[in-house]
Amino acid sequence: MKIQLKITLFLVATNSLILLLFGGSVYYFLYNYSYSDFFKRLETRATISAKYNFEKDRINTESYKAIRTEHLERLTNEKEYLFPVNQTDPNYAGLSNSLNVSGGFIKEIVKNKKAKLQKDGTFYVGILYTQKENAYIVVVSAENYYATHHLRFLRNILIIGFFLIGFITTYIFIYFSKKIFNPIKKITDRVKEISTENIHLRLEEGTNDSEISLLITTFNDLLNRLETAFEVQKNFISNASHEFGTPLTSIIGEAEVVLRKPRSADEYQQSLQSILTQAERINQITQSLLYLAQTGYNKKNIPLEIIRADELIVQVKALTDNLNPKNNVQLDFSLLPENHEKLKVWGNKQLLYLALSNIVSNACKYSNNQLVNISIASSNNEVILLFTDSGIGIPETELQFIYDPFFRASNTHQFEGYGIGLPLARNIVRMHNGELVVSSEVNKGTTVKIKLPLAKLN
């Protein structure tokens, strides 16, 4: 059973139970009260009637008559029966027959001096009235108009009310449970749409921090991780075998040529050197693959510290100078914020260093060491780093693939590389909750914009 239906049924059942209890108890107590009240009234009447009929004192009799006519209204079908106690008929059969009640009732009157009986909507109260030696039985009967009419009316109102309220609340509960489960249904529908072909789709995140929004964020995180995994996997086999294959082929080729006939020590050294270079290349690829894997998965386990972004790019520039002395990297501090608090970000120094140096070395490589500008500025919540080169650029149609591992744009054949740097950099920036955007124009140059959220220091 669906939870939505369960909740609706549960709420409707509880609500009906409460309504029933309420209506039932109202009816029950009022019913009880009206009956005991009516018996009391009848009893009073019986007493008055006995006094009026059998009292010897005339004055008293007159006053009872006055009370009766002035204060007691006639009840519906009110009847009085007065008769002396007859010792000859111990079962009071004739008497009870004439009264149309059971014999037990008369016996009870004689025994307890009073008795009550209800039969077919008629109420009987009998008392035993003794005066001197004579004993009389006085029975008053009447119909309870209040009970038969007013209570029935009340009962009808309660039943109609019960169904009416029941319908309304059921409708509200159905609506309510639908409303509650709508976002969940939406999530289900959306998640159903997402398959391996369109794993880039994400659930729409809400602005509030309700449980549903939390669920959506969790789902999206999960999808992010899945997408990275898929991306890596999708291109891995073909690209990796190619990337690993090239140096391996040259190692094998080199070794085969050398082993064909005896060589001089010099030649051996030369070919071993060449084999070593190729092996180092394989090693490098493996290393960076390992990095990519790590940054793709272990988002939570990286140690973070406060880093100044300007220091970071100065270090990146120093590293680039070391590795590539012909580079033409310029730092643009013209919009460096005055307040150094606006430069501090939470980050892992090694990883950010790796990401930025990858981008800078790419910029130098693909622009043949032309001018590369690194600009730094900060808005109110973010540090913004801009890397601009005037290199070969990236064709517009290929821009969407540049974050795929091992992808290389069609115009990069003359440059060495294996297409891991940019995805790695993007993974790292994403780990820091930042944003990396590449915009480019063929033969004009490429701009990489990195935004990193500022550390909140209080």
Pick from 20, 335, 350, 395 the residue near other proteins by CB under 8 A.
335
Residue-wise over 176-194: b if at least 16 C-beta within 10 A, else e?
A: ebeeebebeeebeeeeeeb
- Shortest Cβ 204–other proteins spacing (Å): 19
457 is an interface residue for other proteins by CB under 8 A: no
- Shortest Cβ 439–other proteins spacing (Å): 4
* Comparison of 142 and 374: residue with beta carbon closer to other proteins: 374
Residues between 342 and 371 with contacts to other proteins, criterion CB under 8 A: 342
433 is an interface residue for other proteins by CB under 8 A: no
375 is an interface residue for other proteins by CB under 8 A: yes
Pick from 197, 338, 397, 456 the residue near other proteins by CB under 8 A.
338
Among 56-64, 88-96, 298-306, 377-385, the segment contacting other proteins (CB under 8 A):
377-385
* Comparison of 187 and 331: residue with beta carbon closer to other proteins: 331
384 is an interface residue for other proteins by CB under 8 A: yes
Among 44-52, 315-323, 381-389, 400-408, the segment contacting other proteins (CB under 8 A):
381-389
Pick from 15, 373, 411, 412 the residue near other proteins by CB under 8 A.
373
- Shortest Cβ 441–other proteins spacing (Å): 8
69 phi, psi to nearest 5 deg:
-75, -35
Pick from 64, 388, 405, 420 the residue near other proteins by CB under 8 A.
388
With a CB cutoff of 8 Å and minimum separation 6, the contacts of 396 are: 440, 441, 442
Binding positions for other proteins, rule: CB under 8 A: 332, 334-339, 342, 373, 375, 377-380, 382, 384, 386, 388, 437, 439, 447, 449
